[in-house]
Amino acid sequence: LTALTLININWQLEANASAHHTDKYSSTELIVRRGQAFTVILTFNRALQTGERLTFTAETGPKPSLQAKTQAVFDISSTASNSTWSAVQQSTNSSSVNISISSPANAAIGRYKLSVQPASGGSASRRTLGTFVLLFNPWSSGDDVFMPDSTERMEYVLEEFGIVFVGNVYRISKMGWNYGQFQGDILNICLSILDRSLSYRKDPATDVSRRNDPKYVGRVLSAMVNSNDDNGVLLGNWSGNYSGGTNPGSWNGSVEILRKWKDAGFKPVKYGQCWVFASVLTTVLRCLGIPTRTISNFNSAHDADRNLSVDVYYDESGNPLNMGGDSIWNFHVWNESWFTRSDLGPSYNGWQILDATPQERSAGIFQCGPASLVAIKEGDVDLDYDSPFIFAEVNADRITWTYDIRTREAKPISSETKSVGQFTSTKAVGRYDRVDVTNNYKYTEGSQKEREVYEKARTKLGRVHGFSATSEKRPEIDQKPEISGKFKVDGSLEIGKDVSLILVLRNLTSDAKTVKANMTAWTIVYTGKPIHEVWKDSFSSTLASEEEKQFPIKITYAEYQQNLTRDNMIRVTALCQIESGIDVVVERNITLDNPDLVMQVLSDAKVNEPVNVEVIFTNPLDQEVKDCVLQAEGSDLLKGKLTIEMPSLQPRQSSKVPFEIVPIKSGTKQLLVNFSCDKFPDVKAFETINVAN
Ligand SMILES: *[C@@H]1O[C@H](CO)[C@@H](O)[C@H](O)[C@H]1NC(C)=O
Ligand SMILES: *[C@@H]1O[C@H](CO)[C@@H](O)[C@H](O)[C@H]1NC(C)=O
Ligand SMILES: *[C@@H]1O[C@H](CO)[C@@H](O)[C@H](O)[C@H]1NC(C)=O
Ligand SMILES: *[C@@H]1O[C@H](CO)[C@@H](O)[C@H](O)[C@H]1NC(C)=O
Ligand SMILES: *[C@@H]1O[C@H](CO)[C@@H](O)[C@H](O)[C@H]1NC(C)=O
Ligand SMILES: *[C@@H]1O[C@H](CO)[C@@H](O)[C@H](O)[C@H]1NC(C)=O
Ligand SMILES: *[C@@H]1O[C@H](CO)[C@@H](O)[C@H](O)[C@H]1NC(C)=O
Ligand SMILES: *[C@@H]1O[C@H](CO)[C@@H](O)[C@H](O)[C@H]1NC(C)=O
Ligand SMILES: *[C@@H]1O[C@H](CO)[C@@H](O)[C@H](O)[C@H]1NC(C)=O
Ligand SMILES: *[C@@H]1O[C@H](CO)[C@@H](O)[C@H](O)[C@H]1NC(C)=O
Ligand SMILES: *[C@@H]1O[C@H](CO)[C@@H](O)[C@H](O)[C@H]1NC(C)=O
Ligand SMILES: *[C@@H]1O[C@H](CO)[C@@H](O)[C@H](O)[C@H]1NC(C)=O
């Protein structure tokens, strides 16, 4: 008998990709999910004899070893195993053999090398068959990331487009995002992110062996998506000045960010903010097979000192002060990933919070999570990882102070328990709508249970962080306010128009006092960081018993135009001093709307057939706008980016821009357009297009 020699391997790419839900990846390499069998056909120089052994080796990482479970050696057996690697011969046909290879549901994910060694007939050299990529398997009940609902799997693993909710509690808007986890070389970039982590660089063998655990992979990635500590993917910048990089608000998707990172030789991409970090993390996790979604939280607290209370300071003129590490962001975005918590117990399985935005160090580096969503809701802030920080984001109490710059004296003005953590939102499964998940994070504000959980969390934190909930006195705010105030919006809030507000003050007492108010307006970025004062005023007035008075305010376009950041946000504050009474701070955040960009898809979309699209922009200003450019992009709809230069627009003039796209793949796709000119840097619109075959 001649020695058995391998002539060819057929990876059965199509059949395996379809069975493993990996057919969307653009790759010529086999991509399969763990805990599920895949088929290969081996062709030899002659037929395989009964009893002739074939020994397979599958190995991953630079130092594969049996002990670390990064190497598996297995012979052909008669039945498949679900706890170890195995190979079962399905059929044979003269010289070719159909073999079904299974991996265990807890195998490390990553790129594997597969080799085979015929163990008879003389020459017994091991022959490398090639490589394949093994991913997490949300379809397999034995996998930590198993997600039973098929429509949820479609959304959280396979959906390439999404929306992220941004804005403020008064106005939540949505932004289209191209996750693009299946595009071109994204899978390879995601794998190289793992190989550039601090833990891999320190000890590659151990790091690779731990890639069987979604908790570990999620935590490593939450550190790698930000560039702090480890030259990760994105550099954060909240300064309002983004020169030398891309404005975080200009990104449309993760693909261009990940490619930029790779093309620059793995140098951090400038710049990211929370929704960019979150969305890139979602891409990477979905790409590796961990079900993931992005969560937006409004009035999100950043509690640097971890005592579940956030302090906000104003000077006596009503200017917001950057003091202490605490802040409340207009919104914050993080991720939830779906997996089990073998470390905490089954009641903490399910959604786990991962936050890639560099805010605070955890175990010395900027990473956050995974924290169990159940643990956050129940106040179990002593459980791994970073639960106190995330608990505070949705639940902290808020204390407002005035600060006298000369005497350096801080005075508590008011304390309130409900405003932090509102409208916690994510995209609906299968629809472009907002779903409110606030109740997943906390019991209803104002309920007794919510306060009980808050107190439980403070007590547990006292044990962990060494302060006692009873001895650390919360500031006493002894007096009741004598007036109430609020800002009402009068008219529309659009860039280019004056901002009209009404300060409404109401006298709650029957005592004789007058009120003096210092008012300011500052442009801010979404984290609440003040950028520039654009307006101020003060007045003094007397209100009769129970009287309500209205004070109209106008901030003109000329006043705010120069200093508005791309977040389009202004914070208006009135510091009201009541003669020998307690001060009252009234504040309001406003977000100005960009002018409308209207996009219409004028015909049905079919693969390889032109589709007509029309975009209309109207100049809302009383002045000409120049340097107008319209750009369009969309995976599988357009090759690269389409750029159309437009003539200047006269005051109030509309312009209609027609163009054509030719889809190259069927399915649900997203078309993004972006209009920019000298006065409006980034006006965006998106449209979902169903492309038929
Ligand atoms: C056996 O041969 C047929 C016909 O050539 C082929 O279609 C089939 O794939 C082969 N089966 C295996 C296991 O190689
Ligand atoms: C290999 O065997 C599997 C399992 O019996 C079968 O589903 C598949 O069609 C076979 N492939 C080929 C090419 O014969
Ligand atoms: C493995 O298979 C056994 C027997 O078929 C089954 O009882 C067990 O649940 C399986 N385990 C996993 C992790 O799928
Ligand atoms: C923005 O930052 C760059 C680089 O640090 C600096 O040169 C420029 O003056 C800044 N622009 C503004 C408006 O602060
Ligand atoms: C943000 O970018 C600006 C403009 O390049 C730069 O001046 C500033 O130092 C950056 N801030 C941080 C925190 O990196
Ligand atoms: C959060 O998860 C989403 C996916 O759900 C991901 O896109 C994003 O990058 C993650 N963000 C952070 C900050 O972890
Ligand atoms: C308003 O500001 C001025 C100086 O900026 C200060 O002297 C005055 O006390 C402030 N008034 C109130 C009501 O805080
Ligand atoms: C939280 O800590 C800060 C800083 O240490 C302190 O000023 C504040 O009073 C504390 N708040 C509570 C409620 O303990
Ligand atoms: C509230 O009403 C009382 C009674 O009319 C009046 O004396 C007092 O000045 C008012 N307070 C304010 C802050 O205007
Ligand atoms: C306004 O936004 C800041 C953060 O930007 C936040 O601290 C504050 O609570 C918000 N105020 C209101 C009234 O929403
Ligand atoms: C704010 O606007 C003024 C003009 O109103 C301008 O001189 C200044 O550079 C602007 N500052 C920033 C930070 O944009
Ligand atoms: C986002 O998409 C728009 C529209 O195609 C494009 O003009 C813009 O350059 C893209 N942003 C980035 C950062 O590439």
Q: Is 336 annotated for ligand binding? A: no
**21-30, 136-145, 365-374: range with lowest mean pLDDT:** 365-374
E strand spans, 126-255 = 127-135, 161-168, 171-178, 234-236
Whether residue 28 has its Cβ less than 6 Å from ligand 5: no
Q: How confident is the model at residue 123 (pLDDT cuts 50, 70, 90)?
A: low
Please tell me the CATH superfamily of domain 483-591, with its number.
Immunoglobulins (2.60.40.10)
**Nearest partner of 659 among 598, 602, 595, 596, judged by Cα:** 602
Q: What is the pLDDT of residues 240-267, one digit of tens each?
A: 888 999 989 889 889 999 999 999 999 8
**Nearest partner of 175 among 104, 273, 270, 246, judged by Cα:** 273
Q: How confident is the model at residue 195 (pLDDT cuts 50, 70, 90)?
A: very high
pLDDT at 289 over 90: yes
Going by alpha carbons, the residue nearest to atom 11 of ligand 6 is 278
Q: Is 395 annotated for ligand binding? A: yes
Going by alpha carbons, the residue nearest to atom 9 of ligand 8 is 474
386 or 688: which leads in pLDDT: 688
Helix or strand run (H / E) with residue 97: strand 96-102
The whole-number average pLDDT for the span 514-535 is 89
Q: What is the pLDDT of residues 20-32, one digit of tens each?
A: 999 999 888 999 9
pLDDT at 303: 78
Residue 229: which region, alpha, beta or left (left: phi > 0; alpha: psi -120 to 50)? Answer: left
Cα(429) to centroid(ligand 12), Å: 26
Q: How confident is the model at residue 473 (pLDDT cuts 50, 70, 90)?
A: low
Report yes or no: 456 and 379 within 8 Å, Cβ to Cβ.
Answer: yes
Cα(168) to centroid(ligand 10), Å: 8
pLDDT at 663: 93
Residues enclosing ligand 7, CB less than 6 A? Answer: 316-317, 516, 518, 538, 575, 577
Q: Is 397 annotated for ligand binding? A: yes
Q: Taking the CB of residue 405, how many other CB atoms lie within 10 A of it? A: 11
Establish how many alpha carbons lie within 13 A of residue 427's alpha carbon, considering only the half-sphere containing its beta carbon.
27
Rank 120-129, 132-141, 239-248 by mean pLDDT and report only the highest.
132-141
Secondary structure tally for the chain: helices H, strands E: 13, 38
pLDDT at 358: 57
Q: What's the pTM value of the predicted model, to 2 decimals?
A: 0.80
pLDDT at 471: 43
584 alpha carbon, distance to own chain's centre: 36
Identity at 657, one-letter amino acid code: V
pLDDT at 311: 85
Cα(478) to centroid(ligand 10), Å: 24
Cα(253) to centroid(ligand 6), Å: 12
pLDDT at 122 over 70: no
Going by alpha carbons, the residue nearest to atom 7 of ligand 4 is 243
**137-141, 564-568, 580-584, 624-628: range with lowest mean pLDDT:** 580-584
Residues annotated catalytic, as ranges: 274, 332, 355
Report yes or no: 381 and 400 within 8 Å, Cβ to Cβ.
Answer: no
Going by alpha carbons, the residue nearest to atom 7 of ligand 1 is 93
pLDDT at 544: 85
Secondary structure (3-state) at 9: strand
Alpha helices for 537-628 (secondary structure H) = 557-560
Q: How confident is the model at residue 120 (pLDDT cuts 50, 70, 90)?
A: low
Q: How confident is the model at residue 469 (pLDDT cuts 50, 70, 90)?
A: very low
pLDDT at 186: 94
pLDDT at 51 over 90: no
pLDDT at 428: 87
pLDDT at 475 over 70: no
What is the number of the ligand 1 atom nearest to the C-alpha of 92? 13
What percent of the chain has pLDDT above 90?
42
Class of the 597-692 domain?
A: mainly beta
What is the number of the ligand 1 atom nearest to the C-alpha of 91? 13
- Would you say the CATH fold of 597-692 matches that of 6-135? yes
pLDDT at 570: 93
Q: Which ligand is nearest to the CA of 671?
A: 12
Cα(316) to centroid(ligand 7), Å: 5
Report yes or no: 564 and 592 within 8 Å, Cβ to Cβ.
Answer: yes
pLDDT at 368: 64
The whole-number average pLDDT for the span 265-280 is 90
**Burial class of residue 663 in the structure, from the number of CB atoms within 10 Å of its CB (0-12 exposed, 13-18 middle, 19+ buried):** buried
pLDDT at 357: 62
Joined together, the tokens standing for residue 220 give: 């490593």
Q: What is the pLDDT of residues 586-645, one digit of tens each?
A: 989 888 988 889 999 999 999 999 999 999 999 988 889 999 999 998 878 888 789 999
The whole-number average pLDDT for the span 147-156 is 93
CATH architecture of 6-135: Sandwich (2.60)
116 or 328: which leads in pLDDT: 116
CATH tag, 150-465: 3.90.260.10
Query: What is the rounded distance in angstroms from the CA atom of residue 59 to the CA atom of residue 66?
Result: 9
pLDDT at 470: 45
309 alpha carbon, distance to own chain's centre: 25
Q: Where do the structural domains in the chain lie, given as residue ranges?
A: 6-135, 150-465, 483-591, 597-692
Q: What is the pLDDT of residues 295-339, one digit of tens each?
A: 898 888 887 777 788 888 888 888 888 777 777 877 888 878 888
Alpha helices for 121-272 (secondary structure H) = 150-153, 186-194, 198-202, 204-209, 214-224, 254-263
Identity at 269, one-letter amino acid code: V
Q: What is the pLDDT of residues 344-364, one digit of tens each?
A: 888 888 888 877 665 655 555
pLDDT at 683: 87
Residues enclosing ligand 4, CB less than 6 A? Answer: 241, 243
Q: What is the 3-state secondary structure (H, E, C) of 611-675?
A: EEEEEEEECCCCCCECCEEEEEECCCCCCCCEEEEECCECCCCEEEEEEEECCCCCEEEEEEEEE
Query: What is the rounded distance in angstroms from the CA atom of residue 122 to the CA atom of residue 191?
Result: 39
With a CB cutoff of 8 Å and minimum separation 6, the contacts of 212 are 69, 106, 107, 108, 109
Query: What is the rounded distance in angstroms from the CA atom of residue 151 to the CA atom of residue 157?
Result: 10
What is the number of the ligand 6 atom nearest to the C-alpha of 281? 9
